[in-house]
Each structure stands twice: as C-alpha cells, then as structure tokens.
Amino acid sequence: MKNIIRYSILSILFLTTFLSALEFHVHNNNSKTLNAVMATGNVESNDVEKLDRYLSMQPIKKHTAVYLDSPGGSLAGGIRLGKYFKQHRIKTVIQGYKICASACALAFLGGTDYKGDKWMSSTTTSRLGFHAFSNADGSQYANSNDTQQVVALVLKYGQYVDIPTEILIKNFETPSHDIYWFSTQEELRLGIKVWDIQNERYVKNAYDSPKVYTSQPTYNTPSSSSYQQNSIDFIKSYFKNLKKLPYTQTWNMLSNSMKNKTNFKKYTRWWDRQVKSITILGITGINYNTVQIRLRFYLSNGKTVCSKDTLSVRKNGNSWLIDGQKSKTIFCQ
C-alpha cells in the first residue's frame, strides 16, 4: 500500500489506453464566418476522407480552422492531412494545454489561410513535438531502402508545405522513443503564431527576444493569480488526459530530478498491470508553483486507495514540468 502511494506521480504518468481514431466535431469557436473543427485522437491514413466528409456537411464559410489534439499516429496520414490543409486553405491550431506531436505535428505544418498564406497557431501552454519516424509498433525500420523512401517522402512533403529545415533536422535527429518539444521562441522563428495565455495577446514575433504587445509582465513572470491558476489548470488537464497520452510524452512532463528517481521501463510495466484507473477528488493551489491534489486509485486487484499529493511545478519555456511530489495516504470517503 505504501509503495502504491509513493509512486503516485512517477507511475501514474504512464497509465494509458490507446486512443481511438481521429474524430471531428464542432469546436466552441465555431461562428458565422468560421467553420471551427476539433480533431482529437490518433492520426490514421484515412483521416483526409473522414474530414472531407465532415466538412461537406458544414455550411460554406470564409474561414476554416482545425484544432488539433493528438499524440501522433500514421506518418502517411499526417502528411496527407497536411497536404489537405494546404490545398483547401485550412488554418491549424493547437489550443491551450493541448498537444500535437509526431504525425499530428507534420499535419499541423500544412496550416493555410483563405488567401493561401501559411497560418498556424499555438499558445504558451500548448506543446508541438517532433521525433524520428518508426513502424506502427514503435520499432525502427530494419531495411535501409524503406528508411530512404520514408525520408524522401518527408522531404518532399517539407518542400510542398515549405517546412523550415530546422524542423526536419529535429524530426530526423530525435529518437522515435523521445519527443523534441519546440519552445515559444522556436515556434515564432518558424512562423507560428503564439497566443499568450496569461496576457491574452499574441506574442510579438521578434526572433531574438519575443515580447507581447503590452507593457504588462510577460508570460514568464510568476507574479499573478493567473499564473497560479495556470499551474492548477496544468495539473488538472494532465490528470484529465492521463489515459490519452503515450508514455514517452508524459515522461517528458517530468523534470530531470523527478526522472532520476525512477526507471521508465519498470514503472510503465508496474502501473500498467497494477492500476486500472485514477479519479481526481479535488485540487487546490497552494501558491503559484505548488498544487495539492486528492486522488483515488482503482487497483487491478479490486482494492481502492486514496492519497493527498502536494506537487511542485515549474515553468520550462512555454510549458510546465512536474518537479516534486509529497504523498500521504488518506481515508477514501
């Protein structure tokens, strides 16, 4: 019982189930002039056909934007989606506290406005990540010819949607079991619009030192109640989406000091077999970088365990990291 609680953060992070295929539905930003589409799930090879059918049933409007929330999936599917976005002049967005990685990130780069200009938007709390390609089961391509063909496919796509060389380098040099998450500054250099969640303004696209169009503190300043709320929202969103995130991505939400306390393979295996699900009972902000959360664990052996955890979080560029944890067993009400 003690071990279950001690590993509550380091191991909870690895609980997951496979996401369903990409699903399309109306986003809250839908308006008279904008067809706003939410796309959530794993990218698959036939998503272009699914999106095309969905849009054919929507009224014709001046603008169309797809809000992406996906850890990845089919490389070919991601490239096909990106080409579709460019051809049909569809904007791409990663909204606050959402992720778009791997095949999703390639699709994201096809974002185009109704004039035919590149148009992609992220936020200071979104995560855009790239890594090397692999087989569907996560293994590397064994045949060099297969590898060369896939590299050629990605390079041709890069030319088609005018992907900066910097992205292709990160895509190929980052191991398939890891993710390279772009910072706000890197996104700006790549021509991606970045919405400042704290100040509710777009970040100024200045390559050397991006600032917001305001004299107020930038999003890096931990001095307001909104900063504290952001840390609460990060933890809440993290646990809410826990089952949707693959192990490698949740692992990268830990600081190095947290990673040094555990073994990735051991904890993923242990929690995958011992814990069925987790429920948030309550969450409170102690200060701007400390959050207290109450959790209920449903174990595979039929038992239920509850804990009260105090989590330390810290900013890491435009994202957050879980940097510490203290846990206490409590009575399950």
- For 303, residues 6+ apart whose C-beta sits below 8 A from its C-beta are none
Q: What is the pLDDT of residue 208?
A: 39
Average pLDDT taken over every residue of the chain? 78
pLDDT in tens, 45-88: 999 999 999 999 999 999 999 999 998 899 999 999 999 999 99
H or E element, residue 286:
strand 275-287
Tens-place pLDDT, residues 231-284: 888 888 777 766 566 666 777 777 887 788 877 777 677 667 777 888 888 888
Cβ–Cβ < 8 Å for 58, 30: no
d(CA 86, CA 84): 5
Q: 137-146 burial string, b = 16+ CB within 10 Å, else e?
A: eeeebeeeee
- Which residues, listed in sequence order, are joined to residue 65 by a DSSP beta bridge? 36, 91
Nearest alpha carbon to residue 130 among 155, 91, 104, 96: 104
The DSSP letter of residue 36 is E
How sure is the predictor about 6, in pLDDT bands with cuts at 50, 70 and 90? very low
Non-local (6+) Cβ contacts of 205 within 8 A are: 188, 191, 193
Q: How far apart are CA 170 and CA 154, in angstroms?
A: 13
Beta strands in 41-106 (DSSP E): 63-69, 91-93, 99-101
Q: Is residue 97 very low, low, confident or very high in pLDDT (cuts 50, 70, 90)? A: confident
pLDDT band, very low/low/confident/very high, at 18 (cuts 50, 70, 90): very low
What residue segments make up the domains of the chain, in order of their start? 2-14+221-330, 23-202
- Evaluated on CA atoms 33, 187, 223, 252, the torsion sign reads positive
What's the pLDDT tens digit per position in 167-214? 877 777 777 677 888 888 889 888 899 998 877 888 887 543 433 333
pLDDT beyond 90 at 27: yes
- Measured from the Cβ of residue 205, the count of other Cβ atoms closer than 10 Å reads 14
Partners of 297 in the β-ladder: 278, 305
d(CA 225, CA 218): 14
Span 23-202: which CATH code? Answer: 3.90.226.10
Q: Is 2-14+221-330 in CATH node 3.10.450.230?
A: yes
Q: Give the sign of the dihedral formed by CA 281, CA 312, CA 13, CA 130.
A: positive
pLDDT at 246: 67
- With a cut of 70, say whether residue 15 has pLDDT above it: no
Instruction: Write the pLDDT tens digit of every residue in 102-141.
Output: 899 999 999 999 999 999 999 998 999 887 665 443 444 4
Instruction: Note the pLDDT of residue 325.
Output: 86
pLDDT at 247: 63
Q: Is the dihedral of CA 47, 164, 95, 133 positive or negative?
A: positive
pTM over 0.75: no
pLDDT band at 14 (very low <50, low <70, confident <90, very high): very low
